[in-house]
Structure 1
Amino acid sequence: MQNAEITDAHGDCDSLIWISGATEGIGLGLARNVPYLNARVVNLSRRPHPDHESVFLDLADPASWDDVGSHFADNLTRFRGSRAIFIQNAHMKGMTGFVGEVAPDDYARDIVANVAAPLRLAEMFVRAVGESGFAGEAGLVLMSSSSARSPTIGQSVYCAGKAAQEMWVRVTRRELALRGKDNIWVTAVRPGFVDTALTRHVAAMADSDYPIASQMRRQMEQGIGVMDIDTAARQIWDALPTDQSLLLFGEQVRQQS
């Protein structure tokens, strides 16, 4: 974790933005397209960001989640700006494959990193906002996927994790409204088909383990409906803040709150 001296040096910022996994993919695009002036951007990742402060986060290591939670709490308590946003974007490259065929330890790690970690981190941010007394705009974004509604063969944990995040958002929005916490908004985002290292990783798999891999490869080769990370990031930022529980990009799906 970054030390207090570095943290305090950014105390005069107006926007405090945490992005998990800001060193690659959509997270990288989000970090370099932040639309707010005088924003402090904090990368939460196993790798340091070359341009932004970084706090170590390993989705498969719950001890690192606690460190991130402490970072939320400590900085929100001191923060006097107008806006604090956490975008939970990080995803560990999971063990794509059929249930019962993936190595047990790998499957268990996939569940911890890609189902449990995003929900725990999201809860810690909401808790930190409430307990710190921060009265500005507080926003939480969970990066989801069309796999939240589509049972994609070979991606049992990925689909379950994304569906869980979307339901968590729907429930949490209702709870915040009942408690009158109007300064906190939460949403899930399905960004559509974005050309990232993770997308290329699964597209390169054998169809026997991931049947839609060949379809993904064809779509990427033809450039049909595929966005680059900066275009995707700008679309997401342009849609925030939002009063919707789900933001869809590149999908013809009816939105439901």
Structure 2
Amino acid sequence: MSPQPQAADSLIWISGATEGIGLGLSRTVPYDRARIVNLSRRRHPELESHYLDLADHRSLTAVAEHFLRELAAFRGQRAIFIQNAHLRGMTGFAAETGAEDVARDIAANVAAPLLLGDAFLRAVVESGYRGEAGLVMMSSAAARSPYEGQSIYCAGKAALEMWVRVVRRENERRGRSHIWVTAVRPGFVDTGLTRHVAAMADRDYPVASTLRAQLVAGGQAMDADSAARQIWAALPARQSLLLFGEQVQVEQPGGG
């Protein structure tokens, strides 16, 4: 593990920083003297890592305690948490997937991101940290598009974006001007997760064939580092949703 700055001016947490967009975000942090912490089940080969399992409530509690402990001791200029981690769920039609898998998917990909977002904000408030505090919740085009075979994923992202909109208003009402919160739809990015769902059977995930065609065509999907640089360039965010190119479009039955 490479050494982190001893007198960090920026404290950056990125969940799922070991692959995909999370890895890209960790490689392109634009701040000097930044301490970067990976929150993941897997350790990062170079970065400081703290264990996070989205499906384990005890892990979420431990991360919440970690946020509070670190922010109470932090004296730098900014603290940012990017909730990017996603547990690969059992993509498939409702009522056709095992009940235990559905429950795990909901816990990890709907409830956990909101619990982590709340934990970070709670830590900022309770620690008394008064520097710039930013929360980035990674969303998806699935927040607005009813992709068949991804009912839980779509519901989770839609809930996440509404949560962000409400929390921004609450922060304004409470006069927490040093805290900003935003959701990000990064568009069509070529990641392991993208290729994972693109390889699924069309019967279970009809948009998979569209994804495969766009990946084969080339030039339509952005690489993770380029997407990450765009995201960093847009922060701190002045709106509740940062929207980047959304390449995947499919017709929905019945007008969607």
In 2: Cα distance, 1:110 partner to 1:11 partner? 38
Structure-1 separation of matches of 2:161 and 2:169: 13
Cα deviation digits, residues 189-217 of structure 1 (max 9, x gap) = 00000011110010000100000101100
Which aligned pairs between 1:25-36 and structure 2 lie closer than 5 A? 25-36=20-31
Q: Which residue of 1 aligns with 2:251?
A: none
Q: Name structure 1 gaps, 5 residues minimum.
A: 1-5, 253-257
Q: 2:253 maps to which residue?
A: none
1:227-254, Cα deviation, whole Å (9 max, x unpaired) = 00000000000000011100011039xx
Match of 1:139 among 128, 134, 139: 134
Structure 2 residue 252 is the aligned partner of structure 1 residue 225: no
Provide structure 2 residue ranges, at least 5 long, that are not aligned to the other structure.
Answer: 248-256
Residues 11 and 79 in structure 1, CA contact (< 8 A), matched pair in contact too = no
Contact in 1 for aligned 2:5/2:34 (Cα 8 Å): no
Aligned partner of 2:120 among 119, 122, 125:
125
TM-score (norm 2): 0.94
Q: Is 2:102 the counterpart of 1:100?
A: no
Task: Tell me the distance in 2 between the aligned counterparts of 1:174 and 1:148.
Answer: 20
Partner residue in 2 for 1:184: 179
**2 CA distance for matches of 1:210 and 1:224?**
23
2:14 aligns to what SS in structure 1? strand
| Identity rate, percent | 68
Return the letter of the residue paired with 2:125. Answer: G
The 2-side partners of 1:96 and 1:162 are apart by 15
| Structure 2 residue corresponding to 1:22, chosen from 17, 25, 34 | 17
Whether the 8 Å contact between 1:111 and 1:157 is mirrored in structure 2 is yes
Residue 16 of structure 1 aligns to a residue whose secondary structure is: strand
Task: Note the alpha carbon deviations across 1:124-159, whole angstroms, 9 max, x for none.
Answer: 000000011111000000000000000000000000
After TM superposition, the runs of 4+ consecutive aligned structure 1 residues lying more than 3 A away are none
Instruction: Indicate the RMSD between aligned Cα atoms, in angstroms.
Output: 1.2
Q: Whole-Å Cα distance in 1 between the matches of residues 189 and 41 of structure 2? A: 22
Note the C-alpha offset of 1:10. 5.4
